[in-house]
Structure 1
Amino acid sequence: MRQLRNVTRVYDPDQRATAARLEAQYRPRWAVWWGTGTRRFWAVPCWQGAPVLIVDGRNVDELLAAMRAAETGPARTPVGAWGRP
């Protein structure tokens, strides 16, 4: 009988490490991660009153540009019942 090994492969370790460094640098204002399926960096703003959005980029420069645009852009109003006063 053949034994199965419990092997877990970590995909894109360099990109994951880069995302972890970015999150440590921009915490607590942003949560950052690498999407192994999308092959993109992703971030969501976490400050109180932050716009309701998710930003992404194919590389770090694109992600940081999208994060800056979200921080300096016009405020967005939340959509849905939870966004009403």
Structure 2
Amino acid sequence: MPQVSRIPKPPPAGCLWIDEAATYIGVAKNTLYKWRQTGHGPKGFPVARRIAYRIEALDAWLAECEHGPAEPNPEMRPPEVRQTSRARNHRRTPAAA
């Protein structure tokens, strides 16, 4: 059986693979995966079994994050994280006097 070469395929012209795109915009690769699942962040597209991002889309998303949109676009914002107060979750009942 012939050996299969494990040379990575280059992304489509003008695109970056998800790990390269994450480095390009300065976030973790898992953050991009999470944003894809929740419908936030820059838009990527599947190529075979990998995710590619157009460099123009990444630049546009970065510019919108830097300058803010002319009108709010909820699809481009990162998801909000609900924060809970630790004090509220761990109340102690007052001791009986």
Q: Does TM, normalized by the shorter one, top 0.5?
A: no
Structure with the bigger percentage of strand: 1
Q: TM-score scaled to structure 1, two decimals?
A: 0.36
Question: Bigger relative contact order, structure 1 or 2, given CA contacts below 8 A and separation 6+?
Answer: 2
TM-score normalised to structure 2 length: 0.33
